Amino acid sequence: MTSAIALAQPAGKPKPATPSRYSGYVHRWHAPSEAPVLVDEAGRPELVLVSLNTGDHAELRAGTDHGGFAASDLDRAASVLRDSSSGNVYPVLPRLLDLAYDIETHFQTRELRVISGYRTPKKSGGSNHGKGRAMDLVVPGTTDADVAAYARTLGFVGVGIYPTSGFVHLDVRDRSYFWSDASGPGRRNRERGILGDLAASSDKSAIARGERPPAPFALGFDVDAALRARGALTGHGLPSVPGLGGMPPDDEEDDDDAPSAP
């Protein structure tokens, strides 16, 4: 298996990421995985998260065909999704991993490559990245447009596509909101809300499937109890290190806390 570091980091001493160099990073992030999909003893695919900042990864066994991860796996995921600049770790919302698992299994990919997970808030409020409810990701061998299109069908999600910076933002929220941001690495965000009608219909479809908006999630949350209650537990910006993904610029801190869908 090609390592995440080899995929993302150019050889030699890091240099400032020019637009052409950055596009090379984006190309490597999206390169197909050469390894087969990991499956457990029951033949169910595992969720594999790979951090392009650190090279850390976690292989997580789902409790059902739709996710459902044990508390120990949530802890491992939180470590992989930690703030790579500060090393801070924050609990990940279980539904975020369920959504990620849905995307991974839909596209039948070996892994999800994470550009950014938790980001330590710089002010009160802040983005969903600071609440354990968001990640910026790439699906190997798949276009961001296809990933975003599928993610928009999941219900109660925030989905942002960054065609220049080269990733898809995914978060959990009580009303879906979709946007596009064509700003490049290190540039001020240019978010534009899109597909408001689709966001509303996606939530209606989720309700028809028996789903409900996510409940609040806070420190001290009894993860195992919550998973049992829901019947799930059965067993852009310029990289902080050129080429390794990293935190988007400060002006993107609130990009995913957009207003509710119109």
pLDDT in tens, 114-141: 999 999 998 767 799 999 999 999 999 9
Measured distance CA(70)–CA(208) in Å, rounded? 27
Which residue is associated with the tokens 């069908």?
153
Tell me if 254 is assigned to some domain. Answer: no
Tell me if 248 is assigned to some domain. Answer: no
Tell me if 256 is assigned to some domain. Answer: no
Tell me if 236 is assigned to some domain. Answer: no
* Residue 223 pLDDT: 46
**CB neighbour list of residue 76: distance below 8 Å, 6 or more residues apart:** 58, 60
- For the purposes of burial, counting CB atoms within 10 Å of the CB of 103, is it exposed (0-12), middle (13-18) or buried (19 or more)? buried
- Quick check: helix, strand or coil at residue 43? coil
Residue 97 CA, distance from chain mean position: 9
* Residue 12 pLDDT: 41
What is the total count of domains within the chain?
Answer: 1
**Contact status, residue 49 vs residue 77, Cβ threshold 8 Å:** yes
Tell me if 241 is assigned to some domain. Answer: no
Strand partners, 136: 116, 169
- Helices then strands, each counted (H, E), the chain: 7, 8
Tell me if 188 is assigned to some domain. Answer: yes
Higher-scoring residue by pLDDT: 5, 204: 204
**Mean pLDDT confidence for 47-68:** 96
Strand partners, 114: 51, 137
Which residue is associated with the tokens 């990933």?
147
* Residue 19 pLDDT: 78
Tell me if 103 is assigned to some domain. Answer: yes
* Residue 186 pLDDT: 76
Tell me if 203 is assigned to some domain. Answer: yes
* Residue 187 pLDDT: 83
pLDDT in tens, 185-239: 778 889 999 999 999 999 999 999 999 998 765 444 444 444 444 444 333 332 3
Q: Quick check: 261 pLDDT over 90?
A: no
Range of the domain at 121: 4-231
